[in-house]
Amino acid sequence: MFGKAGLRRPQQRAFTADARLLLSRFAGDIMRRSILKDVKPPDFGGAVFEPSLNRAIYAARLDRLRARMSERGLDFMVIYGDREHVANISWACGYDPRFEEALLIVPPDGKPTLLAGNEGYPYAETAAGDFNRVLWQPLSLMGQPRDRSQTLMRVLQDLKFDSGLRIGLAGWKGYETEDGAFDPHWFETPHYLVEALRRFGEVSNAAQIFMNPVNGLRVINEASQIACFEYASTKSSSAIRRFILNVKPGMTEYDACRNMMLDGSMQSIHINMCSGPRAKYGLPSPSSRVIEAGDPIVVGHGLMGALNCRAGFMAASAADLPAGIRDYVEKLVAPYFEAAAAWYETVGIGVTGGDIYEAVMSRLGAPFFGIGLNPGHLIHLDEWVHSPIRKGSTQKLASGMALQCDIIPATGTDYFTSNIEDGIALADESLRSELQQQYPEAWSRIAARRGFMMDTLGIKLKPEVLPLSNLAAWLPPFWMSPGKAMAMR
């Protein structure tokens, strides 16, 4: 197979190098496989101390934002937010819209100004950032008073908008081609807003300032923000753990979800929990359906800064599955866990997204696995910010990034799927020291998770990889036997 006959010397060297790489991977695969073994469900404790972001953090963020505005030649930044698309505006000033939309106007100097409706205007006093407020009632719900608002044009003029400006408008995403070219004239913000701003000059989509997968302002996080994410992930993953350990056949999906013991923390998604025929879709919310033995089942829960998900079968062992899929672990779960382990072992500072993609897809590239989305992405207050993890990507990961291990097989068969969705942060030595000193409780959990993943699950982690989830790569394929989980050997 690796014969050299007939090859010219340059080709021969390239072929030999490729062969060495393939043989190395092959040898590594032979030495390290995943197995189903006795693993006590991990317990790293709950979160007691809740980190927060103070006004000094928002002031520093404003400085960084204005530096980016200057680099882009922007005179003003306008940030749009609503209940679902909260991340950019909340990053900038700490305000999260509730029933209404909101606008944050950032000038080249001085305080930003928040435009809010009837209910958002007083609620904005709870935000940690330092900004002026303007009541602009068209942001209010229909039928509410509109008796105290000026026109948007007048509001903008009062904020020193004049002709000939260059204005950045950030909503919650933008349009990119398959090769990553960003269209600055594609807007997902309201039409009225784009048209009003265009009366003052050139308007461009500025979402990349916040969401670029290499250096976006929300992509490189401070220690305090990572600590907030760890707090959210601890709570979210603990809820998933409680679900798996307590779900039983005969429960309705609603009854099973009560085991999560949610406490009112701000969610980033609706709970996706479904069993039986709907489980293949992954995203539905729970219903009154009664969970049956042998059902495929999935549960996912996301808080602001974290999302955790698991999928498997309501079974005690492969013997409880239909005859045609009793090799579920061997055919699907084992290669899936090996790919997830490769993800964790590859991810690190300076690693390219293409490297991570290849580490996963070299194991799950067969059509059977049906991997359609990126095998991993950046996470923030929104569940998916962007992703540098794509085929051939040369974009490098950096310290301060928060990433989601999010590899989703969609077999379209009775084998269903397997899922191990948790978050990590990347932190260089300086950032790790800051986290350890300022957030010792969170650091203790992070260290314990690293130990569990390396010592119990056999996943080798680089020093900069900080697991944020209390599930810490724990993957039980049969939920009626949660004491058996996948591990590398």
CATH code of residue 430: 3.90.230.10
Instruction: Decide: helix, strand or coil at residue 428.
Output: coil
Q: Which of 205, 232, 261 is the last residue of a domain?
A: 205
Instruction: Give the pair of three-digit tokens for residue 265.
Output: 């923390």
* Residue in the structure block whose two tokens are 């998604």: 269
Do 361 and 461 belong to one domain? yes
Closest by CA to 364, choosing from 410, 396, 413, 327, is 410
Does the residue 129 lie in any domain? yes
The predicted structure's pLDDT at residue 21: 38
Residue partners of 383: CB distance under 8 A and separation at least 6: 268, 269, 302, 307, 404
- Confirm whether 10 is domain-assigned: no
- Residue 212 in any domain: the answer is no
Region 44-70 average pLDDT: 97
Q: Which domain CATH number covers 151?
A: 3.40.350.10
Residue 32's pLDDT is: 84
**Half-sphere exposure at residue 328, Cβ-oriented, CA atoms within 13 angstroms:** 29
At 178, the pLDDT band (50, 70, 90 cuts) reads confident
Cβ(305)–Cβ(233) below 8 Å: yes
Whether residues 93 and 44 fall in one domain = no
| Number of CB atoms found within 10 A of residue 341's CB | 26
Alpha carbon distances (Å) from 76 to 57, 66, 89, 141, 240: 21, 9, 14, 27, 43
CA dist list (Å): 4 to 12, 150, 231, 280: 7, 79, 57, 48
Same domain, 200 and 225: no
pLDDT tens-digit readout, 159-170: 999 999 999 999
Q: Are 420 and 476 in contact (CB under 8 A)?
A: no
The Cα-based distances of 27 to 330, 365, 458 in angstroms read 19, 19, 17
From 178, 205, 232, give the residue that closes a domain: 205
Q: Say if residues 213 and 378 touch (Cβ distance below 8 Å).
A: yes
Same domain? 178 vs 245: no
Residues 201 and 225 in one domain: no
Non-local CB neighbours of 141 within 8 Å, separated by 6+ positions: 99, 100, 117, 119
pTM: 0.92
Q: Band of the pLDDT at 31, cuts 50, 70, 90?
A: low
Summarised one tens digit per residue, pLDDT across range 196-248 is: 999 999 999 999 999 999 999 999 999 999 999 999 999 999 999 999 999 99
Q: What is d(CA 165, CA 159) in angstroms, rounded to the nearest whole number?
A: 13
Q: Are residues 199 and 226 in the same domain?
A: no
CB 115 within 8 A of CB 93: no
Same domain, 141 and 243: no
pLDDT digits (tens, 9 = 90+) for 377-416: 999 999 999 999 999 999 999 999 999 999 999 999 999 9
Torsions phi, psi for 479 (to 5 deg): -75, -10
Helix axes 429-438, 223-246, angle to 10 degrees: 70
| Structural domain of 460 | 32-49+219-488
**H or E element that contains 105:** strand 102-106
Given 146, 179, 205, which residue is the final one in a domain? Answer: 205
From residue 220, alpha-carbon distances to 23, 70, 225, 379, 440 in Å are 37, 19, 10, 11, 21
DSSP 455: I
Burial 369-380 (b: 16+ CB within 10 A, else e): bebeebbbbbbb
Sign of CA dihedral 205, 209, 211, 213: positive
287 phi and psi, to 5 degrees?
-140, -175
Mean pLDDT of 286-303: 98
Query: Does the pLDDT value for residue 130 go beyond 90?
Result: yes
Split into its structural domains, the chain has a count of 2
Say whether both 261 and 239 belong to one domain.
Answer: yes
Q: Is the residue at 69 inside a domain?
A: no
C-alpha angle 231/42/484, rounded to 5°?
Answer: 140
What distance in Å separates the CA atoms of residue 401 and residue 380, rounded to the nearest whole number? 9
Q: Do 170 and 270 have their domain in common?
A: no
Co-location of 168 and 230 in the same domain: no
86 within some domain: yes
Residue at 475 is within a domain: yes
| Count of helices and strands (H, E) across the chain | 14, 17
Residue that is written with structure tokens 């085991």 in the block? 259
Asked if 266 and 375 sit in the same domain, the reply is yes
Asked if residues 312 and 395 have their Cβ atoms less than 8 Å apart, the reply is no
**Structure tokens, 406:** 């999010």
pLDDT at residue 33, rounded to an integer: 96
Residue 312 β-bridge partners: 297
Please indicate, yes or no, if residue 110 is contained in any of the structural domains. Answer: yes
Give the DSSP letter string of 166-183: EEEEE-S--EE-TT--EE
**Which residues are CB-neighbours of 154 under 8 A, at least 6 positions away?**
none
**Mean pLDDT of the region 262-281:** 96
Answer yes or no: is 23 within a domain: no
* Residue 242 shares a structural domain with residue 339: yes
Q: Give the Cα separation of 242 and 247 in Å (integer).
A: 8
